[in-house]
Amino acid sequence: MFTSMNIFLQYQKLPASELKYHLYILLKAAQDNNQSYTSALKSALERFIKTLNQINELSPEDPKALNLLMTLNQQIIELKEIANTHGFSAQLKNGLCLVIGTVNAILIGTIGALVGFMGGLIYGISNGKPLAGMLSGWFLGMMTGGMLGFRLPKKLFKDSLQRQLTFGLNGLAEATEHLQNEVLSLTHYHDEVTQEVRALFATQEEFQQFLQNDIQYKVNTFLASFIGQPILHGCAGQHAYITLLIQEKEYLIEFAPDATDTSETPSQYETRQVKGAKLIEMLALHRKLLETNAPSLENIFFKMKPGDNDCFSYINKILLGTNQQGTQLRRFDKLKMKFFGQMLGQSIEFLSPFEEDFFRTSL
């Protein structure tokens, strides 16, 4: 439990948003690590959350809202100064990690491509698909080697707390910028989803009962393929998604360019129960997040990072953003994955700034 009940209650009071996901990271990192500056960091986070709540109490047209948004930007600068994640020494270290990581990515990526080429060829021959195995192994080896090489310097030269704080503060700054330039408000999407769901019920009374009743939904995963190759099914970890069933209509929440085939038996699943009103809140946040987290090729290749910012992260943004606990499912179920998948999973977990249970526990 978070040591300051006031900051926890203020955090819970915030409306659903991506900001809550990044605030969770910062609050959790400060809670789990007792450093000389974490007390000051908690106080600064409390002030930031208080300002956010003040903004949410105002209409967007209120002149006070603009002043409070400027205050948020100043408070982010203060948070960065306290955490010492964006000062000269930190930027110098980041620059060195970038240079070394780029060189490593080229070298280790080349080695990985050669190893993957040979391993994929052997695996492909044993499965009667030598060409597919060879090309898939080459691509998988190159990508894995490049990822390892690029991210290894940060793992070696920066401690996990600094990496978590940097990740959280960068995300907080980006989400705050989106808040200032948002296309449509969460209220717009909430009203939109409410109207859609209301149309599924014959009467207003039935709809009101749905809002107040406990409804089950599921967080599922299935073994993902790599670059669409069936031969690599089980080599790319788990794809996470949420399914909701309202009046026989299925709703899907996920980060993916194409909708998941929900008829496939999940490899993992987690059944949860919330009020119907919470389901509407989740669907509204999902539509809001698509403004900044659209599953476009650009975002997939340049914004997503396995283990840090991926389909599991997206699901946790929905859950944590609506005051629920992060998913208990695993990105990499070693018992169900092939050898190459196990290697990839262990590499990603090793390089991630977050421990496996980081998002599974409450503040």
Task: Kindly list the domain boundaries of the chain, sorted by start residue.
Answer: 5-83+160-180, 88-157, 200-351
Q: Which of 20-34, 238-252, 290-304 has the lowest mean pLDDT?
A: 290-304
Average pLDDT over residues 119-145: 80
Query: Where is average pLDDT lowest: 131-135, 160-164, 349-353?
Result: 131-135
pLDDT band for 49, please (50, 70, 90 cuts). very high
pTM for the model stands at 0.89
For residue 229, pLDDT beyond 60: no
Instruction: State the pLDDT confidence band at 123, using cuts at 50, 70 and 90.
Output: confident
- Please say if the pLDDT value at position 71 is more than 80: yes
Looking at the chain, list the stretches that DSSP marks H as alpha helix, in order from N- to C-terminal side: 5-13, 18-32, 38-56, 63-83, 88-126, 130-157, 160-180, 186-198, 204-212, 276-289, 297-302, 311-321, 339-351
Q: Average the pLDDT over 165-188 and give the result.
A: 90
Q: Is the pLDDT of residue 324 over 90?
A: yes
The pLDDT score that the predictor gives to residue 228 is 52
DSSP state letter for 360: T
The percentage of residues in the chain with a pLDDT greater than 70, rounded to a whole number, is 92
Average pLDDT, the chain: 87
Average pLDDT of the segment spanning 325-336: 80
In this predicted structure, the answer to whether residue 1 has a pLDDT above a threshold of 50 is no
Whether residue 281 is predicted with pLDDT greater than 90 in this model: the reply is: yes
Contacts 24+ apart (CB under 8 A), 92-96: 93/157, 93/158, 96/153, 96/157
